[in-house]
Chain A
Amino acid sequence: MKFLCLPCDEVMEFAERQLPGDGTLAAVFVCGSCTREMALLTNPMETQFVSSMGVKIGGREVPAQAMEGVRGALEGGSETAFQEPEEQDSERGDDSGHGTPPASAGSAQGPSPVEWSPEAVDRLQRVPSFVRGMVKRIYTDYARERGIRTLTPDVMDTARKELGLEGM
Protein backbone atom coordinates (compact mmCIF):
# COMPACT_ATOMS: atom_id res chain seq x y z
CA MET A 1 0.00 0.00 0.00
CA LYS A 2 1.16 3.49 -0.84
CA PHE A 3 -0.84 6.66 -0.33
CA LEU A 4 -0.60 9.32 -2.98
CA CYS A 5 -1.52 12.94 -2.29
CA LEU A 6 -3.32 13.72 -5.52
CA PRO A 7 -3.07 17.54 -5.45
CA CYS A 8 0.72 17.29 -4.94
CA ASP A 9 1.23 13.96 -6.77
CA GLU A 10 3.48 12.96 -3.88
CA VAL A 11 3.60 9.81 -1.83
CA MET A 12 2.42 10.39 1.71
CA GLU A 13 4.82 9.38 4.46
CA PHE A 14 3.84 7.09 7.31
CA ALA A 15 3.73 9.17 10.49
CA GLU A 16 2.02 7.35 13.32
CA ARG A 17 0.12 4.21 14.28
CA GLN A 18 -2.47 3.97 17.04
CA LEU A 19 -4.93 1.47 18.44
CA PRO A 20 -7.64 3.92 19.51
CA GLY A 21 -10.03 1.23 20.70
CA ASP A 22 -12.79 -1.19 19.61
CA GLY A 23 -10.25 -3.11 17.57
CA THR A 24 -9.57 -0.21 15.23
CA LEU A 25 -6.09 0.31 13.83
CA ALA A 26 -5.28 3.87 12.78
CA ALA A 27 -2.29 4.53 10.55
CA VAL A 28 -1.58 8.20 9.92
CA PHE A 29 0.11 9.34 6.73
CA VAL A 30 1.21 12.88 5.88
CA CYS A 31 2.05 14.65 2.64
CA GLY A 32 5.52 16.15 2.79
CA SER A 33 4.56 18.99 0.43
CA CYS A 34 1.19 20.27 1.64
CA THR A 35 1.32 18.63 5.13
CA ARG A 36 -2.15 17.23 4.59
CA GLU A 37 -2.75 14.31 6.97
CA MET A 38 -4.95 11.30 6.48
CA ALA A 39 -5.70 8.32 8.69
CA LEU A 40 -6.23 4.81 7.42
CA LEU A 41 -8.77 3.14 9.73
CA THR A 42 -9.31 -0.58 9.76
CA ASN A 43 -12.16 -2.41 11.45
CA PRO A 44 -11.39 -5.21 13.95
CA MET A 45 -11.56 -7.89 11.29
CA GLU A 46 -9.23 -5.98 8.97
CA THR A 47 -6.88 -5.26 11.88
CA GLN A 48 -6.78 -8.94 12.72
CA PHE A 49 -6.25 -9.84 9.08
CA VAL A 50 -3.19 -7.58 8.83
CA SER A 51 -1.94 -8.82 12.18
CA SER A 52 -2.41 -12.46 11.15
CA MET A 53 0.09 -11.90 8.34
CA GLY A 54 2.74 -10.94 10.88
CA VAL A 55 3.20 -7.47 9.39
CA LYS A 56 2.66 -3.91 10.61
CA ILE A 57 1.27 -1.11 8.49
CA GLY A 58 3.90 1.61 8.20
CA GLY A 59 6.75 -0.74 9.05
CA ARG A 60 8.37 -2.04 12.19
CA GLU A 61 9.81 -0.03 15.03
CA VAL A 62 11.27 -3.12 16.73
CA PRO A 63 12.85 -6.22 15.24
CA ALA A 64 10.64 -9.27 14.82
CA GLN A 65 10.53 -11.31 18.01
CA ALA A 66 10.58 -15.09 18.03
CA MET A 67 7.04 -16.40 17.49
CA GLU A 68 5.52 -13.01 18.10
CA GLY A 69 2.53 -13.80 15.89
CA VAL A 70 1.55 -16.99 17.69
CA ARG A 71 2.36 -15.63 21.14
CA GLY A 72 0.37 -12.50 20.53
CA ALA A 73 -2.66 -14.21 19.07
CA LEU A 74 -2.98 -17.60 20.75
CA GLU A 75 -5.89 -17.83 23.17
CA GLY A 76 -5.00 -19.81 26.27
CA GLY A 77 -1.24 -19.89 25.86
CA SER A 78 0.43 -21.88 28.61
CA GLU A 79 1.75 -19.85 31.53
CA THR A 80 4.51 -22.42 31.90
CA ALA A 81 5.43 -22.74 28.22
CA PHE A 82 8.46 -20.47 28.46
CA GLN A 83 11.17 -20.05 31.04
CA GLU A 84 10.96 -17.04 33.28
CA PRO A 85 12.90 -14.11 31.79
CA GLU A 86 15.32 -14.10 34.73
CA GLU A 87 16.50 -17.56 33.77
CA GLN A 88 17.20 -16.78 30.16
CA ASP A 89 19.25 -14.47 28.01
CA SER A 90 17.74 -11.12 27.39
CA GLU A 91 20.91 -9.69 25.98
CA ARG A 92 21.47 -9.50 22.28
CA GLY A 93 24.38 -11.54 21.06
CA ASP A 94 24.10 -14.23 23.76
CA ASP A 95 22.76 -17.15 21.86
CA SER A 96 25.26 -19.58 23.33
CA GLY A 97 26.08 -20.92 19.93
CA HIS A 98 22.62 -22.28 19.25
CA GLY A 99 21.28 -21.71 15.79
CA THR A 100 21.83 -18.86 13.42
CA PRO A 101 20.76 -15.36 14.37
CA PRO A 102 18.15 -14.19 11.89
CA ALA A 103 19.18 -11.16 9.91
CA SER A 104 16.45 -9.07 11.48
CA ALA A 105 17.38 -9.85 15.05
CA GLY A 106 19.27 -6.61 15.66
CA SER A 107 22.86 -5.65 15.60
CA ALA A 108 23.66 -4.27 19.05
CA GLN A 109 26.68 -6.20 20.23
CA GLY A 110 28.57 -5.79 23.47
CA PRO A 111 25.50 -4.32 25.14
CA SER A 112 25.71 -2.04 28.13
CA PRO A 113 23.73 -3.36 31.10
CA VAL A 114 20.22 -2.08 31.64
CA GLU A 115 18.83 -2.24 35.16
CA TRP A 116 15.17 -2.67 35.94
CA SER A 117 13.76 -0.64 38.80
CA PRO A 118 11.71 -2.61 41.36
CA GLU A 119 8.56 -0.86 40.09
CA ALA A 120 9.36 -1.81 36.51
CA VAL A 121 10.02 -5.40 37.57
CA ASP A 122 6.65 -5.41 39.33
CA ARG A 123 4.96 -4.22 36.19
CA LEU A 124 6.77 -6.74 34.04
CA GLN A 125 5.62 -9.52 36.34
CA ARG A 126 2.04 -8.59 35.52
CA VAL A 127 2.65 -9.38 31.85
CA PRO A 128 1.54 -12.96 31.09
CA SER A 129 4.57 -15.22 31.14
CA PHE A 130 3.63 -16.50 27.68
CA VAL A 131 4.88 -13.21 26.20
CA ARG A 132 6.96 -11.85 29.11
CA GLY A 133 10.37 -12.79 27.73
CA MET A 134 9.55 -11.15 24.42
CA VAL A 135 8.27 -7.99 26.11
CA LYS A 136 11.28 -7.77 28.41
CA ARG A 137 13.61 -8.01 25.45
CA ILE A 138 11.80 -5.24 23.56
CA TYR A 139 11.97 -2.83 26.53
CA THR A 140 15.59 -3.71 27.29
CA ASP A 141 16.62 -3.09 23.69
CA TYR A 142 14.67 0.16 23.65
CA ALA A 143 16.52 1.40 26.74
CA ARG A 144 19.92 0.24 25.56
CA GLU A 145 19.59 1.83 22.13
CA ARG A 146 18.81 5.17 23.82
CA GLY A 147 21.51 4.94 26.48
CA ILE A 148 18.96 4.58 29.29
CA ARG A 149 20.62 2.79 32.22
CA THR A 150 17.55 2.15 34.36
CA LEU A 151 14.17 0.98 33.11
CA THR A 152 11.31 2.52 35.03
CA PRO A 153 7.54 2.47 34.47
CA ASP A 154 7.87 5.94 32.89
CA VAL A 155 10.37 4.61 30.37
CA MET A 156 8.04 1.70 29.67
CA ASP A 157 5.16 4.11 29.04
CA THR A 158 7.26 6.15 26.65
CA ALA A 159 8.44 3.04 24.85
CA ARG A 160 4.88 1.80 24.47
CA LYS A 161 3.86 5.02 22.78
CA GLU A 162 6.92 5.30 20.59
CA LEU A 163 7.00 1.68 19.55
CA GLY A 164 3.26 1.17 19.22
CA LEU A 165 3.21 -1.53 21.88
CA GLU A 166 -0.32 -1.02 23.11
CA GLY A 167 -1.32 -4.01 25.17
CA MET A 168 2.20 -4.81 26.40
Chain B
Amino acid sequence: MRKIRTYNEVDHGTGSQLLEQVLEQRARLQERLASVGRVVAVASGKGGVGKSAVTANLAGAMAAQGLRVGVLDADLNGPSLARMLQVRGPPLEDRAHGVVPPTSPHGVKVFSMELLQGQENAPLRWKEPETDTFLWQSSMETTALREFLADVEWGELDFLLVDVPPGTDKIRRLLELVPDPPVALIVSTPAEISRAVVLRSIGLIREAEVPAAGIVANMTEYLCPDCGHRGTLFRGDGIRRLAEESGLNVWARIPFDPSLGEETDAGAPPAGRDPEGLIGRAFAGLVDRLREAPDGSERGPGGEGDPGADESPRTEEPS
Protein backbone atom coordinates (compact mmCIF):
# COMPACT_ATOMS: atom_id res chain seq x y z
CA MET B 1 0.00 0.00 0.00
CA ARG B 2 1.38 3.39 -0.89
CA LYS B 3 2.06 5.85 1.89
CA ILE B 4 -0.09 8.97 1.83
CA ARG B 5 1.08 11.82 4.01
CA THR B 6 -1.09 12.89 6.91
CA TYR B 7 -2.70 16.31 7.22
CA ASN B 8 -0.02 17.51 9.61
CA GLU B 9 2.79 16.03 7.56
CA VAL B 10 1.76 18.24 4.69
CA ASP B 11 3.36 21.52 5.71
CA HIS B 12 1.48 23.89 3.51
CA GLY B 13 -0.45 27.05 4.21
CA THR B 14 -3.17 26.56 1.67
CA GLY B 15 -6.01 24.08 1.51
CA SER B 16 -9.52 24.77 2.69
CA GLN B 17 -8.22 27.18 5.37
CA LEU B 18 -11.13 26.27 7.62
CA LEU B 19 -8.97 25.93 10.70
CA GLU B 20 -7.38 29.32 10.07
CA GLN B 21 -10.79 30.90 9.80
CA VAL B 22 -12.01 29.29 12.99
CA LEU B 23 -8.91 30.57 14.78
CA GLU B 24 -9.59 34.04 13.38
CA GLN B 25 -13.14 33.84 14.71
CA ARG B 26 -11.78 32.98 18.14
CA ALA B 27 -9.32 35.88 18.00
CA ARG B 28 -12.11 38.26 17.06
CA LEU B 29 -14.20 37.03 19.99
CA GLN B 30 -11.31 37.27 22.40
CA GLU B 31 -10.52 40.81 21.30
CA ARG B 32 -14.11 41.92 21.71
CA LEU B 33 -14.46 40.44 25.19
CA ALA B 34 -11.15 41.89 26.34
CA SER B 35 -13.04 45.04 27.37
CA VAL B 36 -15.58 43.07 29.41
CA GLY B 37 -14.79 42.63 33.09
CA ARG B 38 -16.77 39.48 33.75
CA VAL B 39 -19.07 37.32 31.70
CA VAL B 40 -21.88 35.90 33.81
CA ALA B 41 -23.87 32.93 32.52
CA VAL B 42 -27.41 32.96 33.88
CA ALA B 43 -28.38 29.37 33.30
CA SER B 44 -30.47 26.57 34.63
CA GLY B 45 -31.03 23.76 32.19
CA LYS B 46 -34.69 23.80 33.23
CA GLY B 47 -37.22 26.03 31.53
CA GLY B 48 -39.77 28.14 33.38
CA VAL B 49 -37.66 28.89 36.44
CA GLY B 50 -37.42 32.61 35.69
CA LYS B 51 -33.94 32.96 34.20
CA SER B 52 -34.84 35.87 31.97
CA ALA B 53 -36.62 37.74 34.75
CA VAL B 54 -33.59 37.15 36.99
CA THR B 55 -31.30 38.41 34.22
CA ALA B 56 -33.37 41.56 33.61
CA ASN B 57 -33.61 42.38 37.30
CA LEU B 58 -29.95 41.65 37.94
CA ALA B 59 -29.03 43.98 35.08
CA GLY B 60 -31.31 46.64 36.51
CA ALA B 61 -29.78 46.24 39.97
CA MET B 62 -26.27 46.48 38.55
CA ALA B 63 -27.11 49.60 36.55
CA ALA B 64 -28.69 51.15 39.64
CA GLN B 65 -25.34 50.71 41.39
CA GLY B 66 -23.57 52.51 38.57
CA LEU B 67 -22.04 49.41 37.03
CA ARG B 68 -21.61 49.16 33.27
CA VAL B 69 -23.64 46.17 32.22
CA GLY B 70 -24.65 44.42 29.01
CA VAL B 71 -27.21 41.68 28.46
CA LEU B 72 -26.92 39.10 25.72
CA ASP B 73 -30.12 37.17 25.16
CA ALA B 74 -28.76 33.80 24.11
CA ASP B 75 -32.25 32.35 23.89
CA LEU B 76 -32.46 32.53 20.10
CA ASN B 77 -35.69 30.58 19.85
CA GLY B 78 -37.54 32.28 22.68
CA PRO B 79 -36.01 35.73 23.13
CA SER B 80 -37.63 38.10 25.61
CA LEU B 81 -35.01 40.45 27.01
CA ALA B 82 -35.39 43.19 24.41
CA ARG B 83 -38.95 43.63 25.65
CA MET B 84 -38.09 43.19 29.31
CA LEU B 85 -35.47 45.90 29.02
CA GLN B 86 -37.42 48.12 26.59
CA VAL B 87 -34.99 48.29 23.71
CA ARG B 88 -37.23 47.42 20.78
CA GLY B 89 -37.59 50.29 18.39
CA PRO B 90 -34.95 52.35 16.62
CA PRO B 91 -32.84 50.64 13.94
CA LEU B 92 -29.43 49.37 14.92
CA GLU B 93 -26.27 51.21 13.99
CA ASP B 94 -24.38 48.97 11.59
CA ARG B 95 -20.73 49.96 11.79
CA ALA B 96 -17.68 48.59 10.07
CA HIS B 97 -16.43 46.99 13.26
CA GLY B 98 -19.68 45.80 14.74
CA VAL B 99 -23.31 46.47 15.50
CA VAL B 100 -23.99 49.05 18.20
CA PRO B 101 -26.32 47.54 20.82
CA PRO B 102 -29.30 49.59 21.93
CA THR B 103 -29.27 50.88 25.49
CA SER B 104 -32.25 50.44 27.80
CA PRO B 105 -33.75 53.29 29.79
CA HIS B 106 -31.89 51.77 32.76
CA GLY B 107 -28.56 52.17 30.96
CA VAL B 108 -28.13 48.50 30.05
CA LYS B 109 -26.75 47.52 26.63
CA VAL B 110 -28.85 44.73 25.16
CA PHE B 111 -28.67 42.39 22.21
CA SER B 112 -31.28 39.82 21.30
CA MET B 113 -32.60 37.93 18.30
CA GLU B 114 -35.78 39.91 18.87
CA LEU B 115 -34.00 42.94 17.43
CA LEU B 116 -33.37 41.21 14.11
CA GLN B 117 -36.60 39.38 13.37
CA GLY B 118 -39.13 41.09 11.14
CA GLN B 119 -42.21 39.55 12.63
CA GLU B 120 -42.86 39.70 16.32
CA ASN B 121 -43.27 36.27 17.91
CA ALA B 122 -42.29 34.51 14.67
CA PRO B 123 -40.45 31.21 15.14
CA LEU B 124 -36.76 31.33 14.39
CA ARG B 125 -36.10 30.00 10.91
CA TRP B 126 -32.95 29.79 8.83
CA LYS B 127 -32.87 29.87 5.06
CA GLU B 128 -32.87 26.77 2.88
CA PRO B 129 -32.32 23.93 2.67
CA GLU B 130 -35.23 23.03 4.88
CA THR B 131 -34.50 19.34 4.79
CA ASP B 132 -32.02 17.76 7.17
CA THR B 133 -32.15 20.94 9.24
CA PHE B 134 -31.17 19.02 12.33
CA LEU B 135 -27.73 18.40 10.85
CA TRP B 136 -26.66 22.05 10.73
CA GLN B 137 -29.09 23.95 12.95
CA SER B 138 -27.00 23.59 16.08
CA SER B 139 -23.95 24.81 14.20
CA MET B 140 -25.91 27.83 12.94
CA GLU B 141 -27.11 28.66 16.43
CA THR B 142 -23.56 28.46 17.73
CA THR B 143 -22.50 30.86 14.97
CA ALA B 144 -25.31 33.23 15.97
CA LEU B 145 -24.22 33.18 19.60
CA ARG B 146 -20.59 33.71 18.59
CA GLU B 147 -21.57 36.68 16.43
CA PHE B 148 -23.70 38.17 19.20
CA LEU B 149 -20.65 37.98 21.46
CA ALA B 150 -18.01 39.08 18.95
CA ASP B 151 -19.80 41.41 16.54
CA VAL B 152 -21.70 43.59 18.98
CA GLU B 153 -19.81 46.68 20.09
CA TRP B 154 -20.17 45.96 23.78
CA GLY B 155 -17.44 48.44 24.69
CA GLU B 156 -16.19 48.67 28.26
CA LEU B 157 -18.40 46.66 30.59
CA ASP B 158 -18.11 45.56 34.19
CA PHE B 159 -20.47 42.64 33.54
CA LEU B 160 -21.92 40.96 30.48
CA LEU B 161 -24.89 38.83 31.50
CA VAL B 162 -25.69 35.99 29.13
CA ASP B 163 -29.20 34.59 29.47
CA VAL B 164 -28.68 30.95 28.54
CA PRO B 165 -31.76 29.15 27.16
CA PRO B 166 -33.18 25.96 28.65
CA GLY B 167 -31.37 22.74 27.82
CA THR B 168 -28.23 21.50 29.46
CA ASP B 169 -26.38 21.52 26.12
CA LYS B 170 -26.82 25.28 25.81
CA ILE B 171 -24.55 26.08 28.74
CA ARG B 172 -21.89 23.89 27.17
CA ARG B 173 -22.11 25.94 23.95
CA LEU B 174 -21.36 29.14 25.85
CA LEU B 175 -18.59 27.58 27.92
CA GLU B 176 -16.84 26.42 24.76
CA LEU B 177 -17.13 29.79 23.03
CA VAL B 178 -15.94 32.28 25.60
CA PRO B 179 -12.17 32.53 26.05
CA ASP B 180 -12.30 32.51 29.86
CA PRO B 181 -14.81 30.51 31.87
CA PRO B 182 -17.69 32.73 32.99
CA VAL B 183 -19.15 33.08 36.44
CA ALA B 184 -22.20 30.81 36.53
CA LEU B 185 -25.50 31.68 38.14
CA ILE B 186 -27.70 28.63 38.37
CA VAL B 187 -31.35 29.55 38.64
CA SER B 188 -33.72 27.06 40.18
CA THR B 189 -36.93 26.86 42.14
CA PRO B 190 -37.70 24.78 45.22
CA ALA B 191 -39.64 22.36 43.00
CA GLU B 192 -38.15 18.89 43.05
CA ILE B 193 -38.23 18.47 39.28
CA SER B 194 -36.09 21.59 38.85
CA ARG B 195 -33.41 20.18 41.12
CA ALA B 196 -33.01 17.05 39.06
CA VAL B 197 -32.53 18.89 35.78
CA VAL B 198 -30.40 21.68 37.20
CA LEU B 199 -27.95 19.18 38.67
CA ARG B 200 -27.10 18.10 35.13
CA SER B 201 -26.13 21.67 34.21
CA ILE B 202 -24.01 21.97 37.32
CA GLY B 203 -22.14 18.85 36.24
CA LEU B 204 -21.16 20.58 32.99
CA ILE B 205 -20.14 23.71 34.84
CA ARG B 206 -17.91 21.72 37.14
CA GLU B 207 -16.23 20.07 34.16
CA ALA B 208 -15.51 23.53 32.72
CA GLU B 209 -13.87 24.59 35.97
CA VAL B 210 -15.65 27.93 36.17
CA PRO B 211 -14.01 30.19 38.74
CA ALA B 212 -17.21 30.77 40.68
CA ALA B 213 -20.77 29.51 40.62
CA GLY B 214 -23.77 30.04 42.82
CA ILE B 215 -27.43 29.17 43.03
CA VAL B 216 -30.19 31.73 42.61
CA ALA B 217 -33.21 30.32 44.36
CA ASN B 218 -36.20 31.79 42.60
CA MET B 219 -39.79 31.78 43.83
CA THR B 220 -38.72 30.69 47.26
CA GLU B 221 -41.89 32.00 48.90
CA TYR B 222 -45.10 33.75 47.98
CA LEU B 223 -45.72 37.36 48.93
CA CYS B 224 -49.36 38.35 49.06
CA PRO B 225 -49.63 41.75 47.36
CA ASP B 226 -52.66 42.66 49.49
CA CYS B 227 -51.74 41.76 53.05
CA GLY B 228 -48.01 41.09 52.77
CA HIS B 229 -48.41 37.55 54.10
CA ARG B 230 -45.59 35.21 53.18
CA GLY B 231 -46.41 31.66 52.29
CA THR B 232 -44.87 28.60 50.75
CA LEU B 233 -45.13 28.42 46.96
CA PHE B 234 -43.49 25.04 46.41
CA ARG B 235 -43.63 22.37 49.08
CA GLY B 236 -40.46 20.67 47.93
CA ASP B 237 -37.08 21.32 49.49
CA GLY B 238 -35.30 21.24 46.15
CA ILE B 239 -33.07 24.21 46.89
CA ARG B 240 -31.68 22.68 50.07
CA ARG B 241 -31.05 19.39 48.33
CA LEU B 242 -29.59 21.11 45.28
CA ALA B 243 -27.13 23.02 47.44
CA GLU B 244 -26.16 19.89 49.34
CA GLU B 245 -25.78 17.67 46.32
CA SER B 246 -23.95 20.22 44.18
CA GLY B 247 -21.83 21.78 46.90
CA LEU B 248 -22.74 25.21 45.58
CA ASN B 249 -23.88 28.02 47.81
CA VAL B 250 -27.15 29.84 47.48
CA TRP B 251 -26.21 33.37 46.47
CA ALA B 252 -29.72 34.82 46.40
CA ARG B 253 -33.28 33.96 47.33
CA ILE B 254 -35.91 35.71 45.28
CA PRO B 255 -39.48 35.58 46.58
CA PHE B 256 -42.38 35.23 44.18
CA ASP B 257 -44.09 38.56 43.99
CA PRO B 258 -46.74 38.85 41.26
CA SER B 259 -45.63 42.40 40.60
CA LEU B 260 -42.09 41.22 39.82
CA GLY B 261 -43.27 39.21 36.85
CA GLU B 262 -45.76 41.82 35.68
CA GLU B 263 -43.37 44.74 35.92
CA THR B 264 -40.47 42.84 34.38
CA ASP B 265 -42.62 41.69 31.48
CA ALA B 266 -43.74 45.28 31.00
CA GLY B 267 -40.16 46.47 30.74
CA ALA B 268 -39.67 47.85 34.23
CA PRO B 269 -37.68 45.34 36.30
CA PRO B 270 -38.38 46.33 39.91
CA ALA B 271 -34.86 45.57 41.16
CA GLY B 272 -33.54 48.54 39.23
CA ARG B 273 -36.49 50.84 39.86
CA ASP B 274 -36.74 50.18 43.60
CA PRO B 275 -33.35 49.07 44.91
CA GLU B 276 -34.52 49.44 48.52
CA GLY B 277 -37.56 47.18 48.11
CA LEU B 278 -37.59 43.51 49.04
CA ILE B 279 -36.82 42.41 45.50
CA GLY B 280 -34.27 45.17 45.02
CA ARG B 281 -32.39 44.18 48.16
CA ALA B 282 -32.30 40.53 47.12
CA PHE B 283 -30.73 41.44 43.79
CA ALA B 284 -28.37 43.96 45.38
CA GLY B 285 -27.04 41.12 47.52
CA LEU B 286 -26.53 39.05 44.40
CA VAL B 287 -24.62 41.91 42.78
CA ASP B 288 -22.36 41.98 45.84
CA ARG B 289 -21.68 38.27 45.44
CA LEU B 290 -20.78 38.73 41.82
CA ARG B 291 -18.49 41.66 42.54
CA GLU B 292 -16.62 39.47 45.00
CA ALA B 293 -16.48 36.47 42.70
CA PRO B 294 -12.95 35.32 41.90
CA ASP B 295 -11.61 35.78 38.41
CA GLY B 296 -10.30 32.29 37.86
CA SER B 297 -6.86 32.70 39.34
CA GLU B 298 -8.10 30.99 42.48
CA ARG B 299 -10.12 27.86 43.04
CA GLY B 300 -13.18 26.43 41.37
CA PRO B 301 -16.80 26.56 42.52
CA GLY B 302 -17.19 25.92 46.18
CA GLY B 303 -13.48 26.36 46.78
CA GLU B 304 -11.83 29.10 48.76
CA GLY B 305 -12.27 31.45 45.86
CA ASP B 306 -16.04 31.17 46.08
CA PRO B 307 -17.45 34.19 47.93
CA GLY B 308 -19.86 31.89 49.70
CA ALA B 309 -17.36 29.21 50.52
CA ASP B 310 -17.00 30.19 54.13
CA GLU B 311 -20.56 29.10 54.75
CA SER B 312 -22.22 25.78 54.65
CA PRO B 313 -24.74 25.59 51.85
CA ARG B 314 -27.47 28.00 52.94
CA THR B 315 -30.53 25.95 53.46
CA GLU B 316 -32.43 28.01 55.99
CA GLU B 317 -35.75 29.48 55.08
CA PRO B 318 -35.70 33.25 54.62
CA SER B 319 -36.87 35.23 57.57
| Residues of A participating in the B interface, judged by any CB pair closer than 8 Å | 1-4, 6, 9, 11, 13-14, 23, 27, 44-45, 48-50, 52-60, 64, 66-85, 88-96, 98-106, 130, 133-134, 137
> Could you write out 16 A-B pairs with CB less than 8 Å apart?
A1-B18, A48-B128, A52-B136, A54-B25, A59-B14, A64-B24, A74-B116, A74-B127, A75-B126, A80-B118, A90-B96, A95-B97, A95-B153, A99-B98, A104-B24, A134-B94
Mark B75-116 against chain A: 1 for CB-CB distance below 8 A, else 0: 000000000000000011111111110000000000000011
Q: Which residues does chain A contribute within 8 Å of B18, judged by CB atoms?
A: 1, 50, 53, 55, 57
Chain A residues whose C-beta falls within 8 Å of the C-beta of B132 in the assembled complex = 45
Q: Tell whether B22 is near chain A: CB-to-CB under 8 Å.
A: yes
**When each residue 1-17 of chain B gets 1 if its CB lies under 8 Å from chain A and 0 otherwise, what string results?**
01011010010101111
> Ordered nearest first, which 3 A-B pairs have the shortest CB separation?
A99-B153, A1-B16, A2-B15
Contact assessment for B17 and A76 in the assembled complex, using a CB-CB cutoff below 8 Å:
no
Q: Which of B14, B16, B147 contacts A70 (CB 8 A)?
A: B147
B21 touches A56 (CB 8 A): yes
User: When chains A and B are docked, how far (Å) is the Cα of A76 from the Cα of B35?
Assistant: 32
Pick the residue among B20, B22, B28, B146 that contacts A103 (CB under 8 A): B28
Question: Which one of B92, B140, B148 contacts A52 once the chains associate, using CB atoms below 8 Å?
Answer: B140
Report the bound CA distance from A106 to B28 in whole Å: 12
B16 touches A91 (CB 8 A): no
Task: Tell whether B73 is near chain A: CB-to-CB under 8 Å.
Answer: no
Interface size class of B (residues with CB under 8 A): 35 or more
Q: Are B21 and A100 in contact (CB under 8 A)?
A: no
Residues of chain A lying within 8 A (CB to CB) of residue B95? 66, 88-89, 94-96, 98-99
Is B65 located at the chain interface by the 8 A CB criterion? no
Given contacts A57-B16, A99-B155, contact A9 B5 (CB under 8 A): yes
Q: B116 is contacted by which of A9, A50, A52, A81 (Cβ under 8 Å)?
A: A81
Interface centre among B5, B95, B100, B125 (most CB of A within 10 A): B95
A84 to B94, CA, bound (A): 9
The smallest beta-carbon distance between A144 and chain B, in angstroms, is 12
Closest residue of A by beta carbon distance from B118: A78
* CA–CA, A52 and B139, complex, Å: 6
Chain B positions within 8 Å of A93 at CB level? 96
Would B28 and A102 count as touching, CB distance under 8 A? yes
- CB <8 Å contact, A99 and B143: no
Further contacts, 19 of them, CB under 8 A, given A14-B15, A69-B147, A73-B127:
A4-B5, A11-B15, A23-B128, A44-B128, A45-B131, A49-B136, A57-B16, A59-B14, A66-B94, A66-B97, A67-B99, A78-B116, A81-B118, A82-B91, A83-B93, A93-B96, A99-B32, A102-B32, A103-B31
Is the beta-carbon distance between A100 and B94 smaller than 8 angstroms?
no
Taking a contact as CB atoms under 8 Å apart, the answer to whether A6 and B93 are in contact is no
A106: B residues at CB distance < 8 A: 96
Task: Encode B121-135 as 1/0 by CB contact (under 8 A) with A.
Answer: 010111111011001
